C-alpha cells in the first residue's frame, strides 16, 4: 500500500489550515489511502528551513514515503530554484508529488516541466505581493499612519476593528490598512464586516 505524506503550510497572514486539510483528506479518501502521515508548518515559503518540512525530507530520504500530497504546489516553495530542486530530489527517490487543488501529479519529466512553470509563477506572484506591500507601506507613511517596523503606531500593540474603520475612512484600501496594522487583508475584511454589522 502506498505510504502517503500530507504536507500543509500556512503563512503567518491568516491562511486557512482547515481548508487545505479538508481538500487533502478528500483526495486521500478517494484513493483509499490509509497509511498517511501529516506534516504542518506555520511559516513562510521563503526558505526550506521549516521544522516539519525537514522531518518530511528526512522521511523521504529514508525511504519511508511513496507520495507527498499538498493542497497547492506553492505550499512546498515560492521560489523556482528551491521548488525544482526539491521535486527533482523526490523524483530521484521514487516519490511522486500531488497537488490536489491543481489536480496534478508531478511525476516524470512532463510533471517536472509543468512544475517548473508553476514554481516560476508562484515566485512571480510572491514578488508582486512584496511590491504591493512596499507600496502599501509607502502610502501609509505618506498618510502618517505607519510608525514602526511592525506597521503599527507606537503604543499600539493590537489592531482593533475601530482602527481599521478609521483608516478606511481616510481613504486607505484594504492592503494599505493591513500593512499599517500588521495584520492580513482577511483580518481587515473581518474587522470592517464586524463594524458594519454592529452599525446595522
3-state secondary structure of 42: strand
Catalytic residue list contains 11: yes
Chain centroid to CA 138: 24
Q: Would you call 72 exposed, middle or buried from its count of C-beta atoms within 10 A (0-12, 13-18, 19+)?
A: middle
* Planar angle of CA 62, 43, 46, nearest 5 degrees: 85
CB 81 within 8 A of CB 87: no
Residue from 11, 44, 156, 184 carrying the catalytic annotation: 11
Q: Helices 161-169 and 185-199 meet at what angle, rounded to 10?
A: 90
Positions marked active-site: 11
Amino acid at each position: 500500500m502506498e505510504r502517503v505524506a500530507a504536507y500543509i503550510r500556512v503563512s503567518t497572514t491568516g491562511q486557512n489550515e482547515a481548508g487545505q486539510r479538508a481538500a487533502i483528506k478528500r483526495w486521500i479518501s478517494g484513493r483509499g489511502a490509509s497509511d498517511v502521515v501529516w506534516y504542518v508548518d506555520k511559516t513562510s515559503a521563503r526558505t526550506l528551513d521549516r521544522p516539519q518540512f525537514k522531518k518530511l525530507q528526512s522521511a523521504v530520504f529514508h525511504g519511508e514515503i511513496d507520495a507527498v500530497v499538498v493542497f497547492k504546489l506553492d505550499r512546498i516553495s515560492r521560489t523556482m530554484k528551491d521548488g525544482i530542486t526539491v521535486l527533482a530530489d523526490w523524483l530521484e527517490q521514487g516519490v511522486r508529488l500531488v497537488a490536489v487543488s491543481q489536480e496534478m501529479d508531478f511525476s516524470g519529466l512532463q510533471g517536472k516541466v509543468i512544475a517548473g512553470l508553476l514554481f516560476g509563477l508562484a515566485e512571480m506572484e510572491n514578488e508582486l505581493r512584496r511590491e504591493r506591500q512596499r507600496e502599501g507601506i509607502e502610502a501609509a507613511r505618506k498618510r502618517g499612519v505607519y510608525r514602526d517596523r511592525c506597521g503599527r503606531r507606537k503604543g499600539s500593540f493590537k489592531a482593533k476593528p475601530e482602527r481599521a474603520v478609521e483608516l478606511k475612512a481616510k481613504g486607505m484600501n484594504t492592503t494599505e490598512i493591513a500593512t499599517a496594522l500588521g495584520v492580513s487583508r482577511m483580518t481587515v475584511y473581518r474587522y470592517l464586516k464586524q463594524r458594519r454589522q454592529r452599525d446595522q
